[in-house]
Amino acid sequence: MTPQHLSAAELKALVRTVPDFPHPGIMFRDITTLIGHHQGMAASVHHLAALAESAGARKIAGMEARGFIFGAAVAVQLGVGFVPVRKPGKLPIATIGIDYALEYGSDRLEMDPTAIEPGQKIVIVDDLIATGGTALASAELLRKAGAVIEHALFVIDLPDLGGAARLREAGITVSALMEFEGD
């Protein structure tokens, strides 16, 4: 079986679940086991790239850090550019940024404002959607730079945490390769 033909169930089986991390009662979905499995990684990228191509992606954007892994690989497969959405202070040029709320505090994302042409269709790719805060902030930042953001793709959705629903409320179509309920 070629990597791109691994089923969603086979990909899901490659994700390690770590109970009680980082706190008791949390079932942490560790994607490093999927990334470390050649066929699983290749299949994940293949499936994400097909979704991004169907969405009309002209570039792919990914958030630091695991969004860089999947997003850059998808961009290479599609033959389009990659836009890194960075943590603050990582770019040596003038940036645009956005501050956003976390459960216990706040954070900031930045990007090179010249990385996008006005009206360019960008698809967001990341490893996991939980509460959606980072993905929503990324979409807002990319839109501020002139991008058209209509789609966001994830390897894993944790639907009980509501992030995908929040993105949909912001006018973004959400697709994920797999879901883990109850987390």
Helices 66-78 + 38-54 axis angle, to 10:
60
CA gap 113, 97 in Å, rounded: 9
Rounded-to-integer distance, Cα 151 and Cα 175, Å: 8
Q: Domains of the chain by range and CATH?
A: 3-179 (3.40.50.2020)
- pLDDT in single tens digits along all 183 residues of the chain: 555 689 999 999 999 999 999 889 999 999 999 999 999 999 999 999 999 999 999 999 999 999 999 999 999 999 999 999 999 999 999 999 999 987 778 999 999 999 999 999 999 999 999 999 999 999 999 999 999 999 999 999 999 999 999 999 999 999 999 999 875
What's this model's pTM, rounded to 2 decimal places?
A: 0.95
| Phi, psi of 156, rounded to the nearest 5 degrees | -125, 135
**What amino acid positions are annotated as catalytic residues?**
66, 103
